[in-house]
Structures are given as C-alpha cells and as structure tokens.
A and B are shown apart, each in its own frame.
Chain A
Amino acid sequence: MQKRWPCFIFVLITMMVLSFGGCTSSSDDYSPYYPETGTIELNNYSDVTIDRFYLAPVHQTSWGRNILRDVLYPGESTLIVDIESGYYDAKIAVTGLYSDYFGYLYDINMRHGRDVVLDVYNSSFTGSLEIYNNTVGAHIVGVYVVPAGSPTWGHNQTTSYIYPAEVLHLSDLSPGFYDIRIVWNVGPDSYYDDVKIKSLTLKTIDVD
C-alpha cells in the first residue's frame, strides 16, 4: 500500500501541470482583442479643396509624404486607417488660386484602437501676404513682419533684394494683425501698422 503513494503523487502532479497548461491556452483564446492601430476621420467643412494631408509622429523632424490618395472636396470626408499607436502632428494644405494655405494640429493622441475625428473649417487655414515694390528705382533690402504690438521687429523675411516691379510672397501667416517695416537701399524705412491677415486670403501691399 505504501509503495502506491509515489505513483499517486506523480499522477496528481502530472494532472495539475496539464490542467495549468490548459488554463493558459484557454485564457489566450478568450482574452479581449486590443487592436494596435487606430483610425482618423478627416472632415472637410471648409469651402476649399484640401490637396494634401500629412501625419507625422510628434518627434519626427519632417512631415513625410502626402497621405491623401485623392483631393478632399468641400463637404467630403475620408478615413485614414491602420495608424499605429502614439502621438501625432497633422498638417493640411490647400493650393488656392492666389496662394498656398495650411492648417495644423499637434499632439493627436492615437491610443489603441482609437478613432479620432479631425474637422477642417475655413478658419482652420493660414493667410498670405505679398509685398510689391511699386517704385521705379529703389530696391527693398529688408521686410519685417511681426504681430501688431510686438516690441521688436523679428528677423528679415526676405533672403534677397526685391527690385522694382518684383513681389515677395509670404505664405503661412496666422490670421491676425501685423506691423510691417520695409527697409530700402535708399531713403527712410516705410511702416505699415495693423495690416489684417485673414484665412484663405492673399493681401497685397504696393509699397513705394
């Protein structure tokens, strides 16, 4: 009778091991499914056609390629699927009749399986500014454009001289009021205060 105990204990341990194995397998089969990717719904509620859409992880230094397969007309929506978990920055771009305009979103949280809705309105876009040299003989050596009320003039927005009848076209300005200073090769500087920049609008100033 005593010799049967080791055999019994061996059978008991074997059954327990098999039972644990079965439990693990069963647990895997019924564990909830957490998808690794999320979806973005992009809604164009603006009156312009969105030409490009960029999505980059927050620490990436470049926007990468445009991920829109087709342009997004006013009133249209599109889904961008299979976006890996993480934080993203997004940019939209419009090529209008007069200029390019942009809209931005930062630190979009794409958690596991999360669906995020991104809306675009007319006011989501930047505006543009043109400086036209309307003189006959003077050229512009400096263009300074800063938000109205700023204490300093910032840095020169032009990298080259603007000669008579030439234009400096600046895009990607946030809507608002700006102070502008034009520096000429001869004569006193020109100042324009409280110039209003609007979304999806090109403002042209003929300076002389």
Chain B
Amino acid sequence: MKKYCVITFLLAAFSARAETLVVQLVLKDHLFAPSQLTLPADTKIKLLIHNQDSSPEEFESFSLNREKVILGEATGTVFLGPLEPGEHSFMGEYNPDTARGVIRVVPLSQWQAEGH
C-alpha cells in the first residue's frame, strides 16, 4: 500500500510541477506545417493538431509514444512532456511519405533566446 502511495505521489508531483504551453500544428494537403516544431524542455505541451484535409489522419510518434486519430476537418489534442532536450520525429500514419515532421526539444533558455 505504501508503495502505491509513493508512486501516486510521484506521478502527482510530476504533473503538478509542469506548466502547460499550447502549440499549434496544421495538417493540410497531407503536409504538416510547420514540419519542424521547436519546443522548450521540461515544459508540458498541449499540442493542437488541426486537420484541414477532408480525410482523417493518424498522428504518430514512436519515440514520444503518441498516436491520435484526427478526423477530417477536425482538431485533435495530444499532451506531451515535460521532455528532455532531443529530437523526435512524427508522421501521419495514412500518408507517411508526405506527412512527416520533427519535434526539436531545446533547453528553455535556448528556446527563449530563439525568440519563441
């Protein structure tokens, strides 16, 4: 029982610590825009994916453990992080040849210095 309490406390602490940053991503003509997203490390991200195509798409990132079906002309929300600095690729599972992108995670100071 004690072990469960510790785990619950740790998870609550991880979620409470993080502030949420809202980031927009657009899918149009089976292309993500922007195709490279730069995000700050150690920050919780609310990623809003606007699918402007009439067809559905599945947003997928293996390294981020995220997959989300977004119907045509709809918006899907995926929460990320807090993340460590690094790079994560993502794609649209139904159009993997064109719908591709990269999430670049940089330290908060660098992210601010880059003018985001």
- The answer to whether A binds B is no
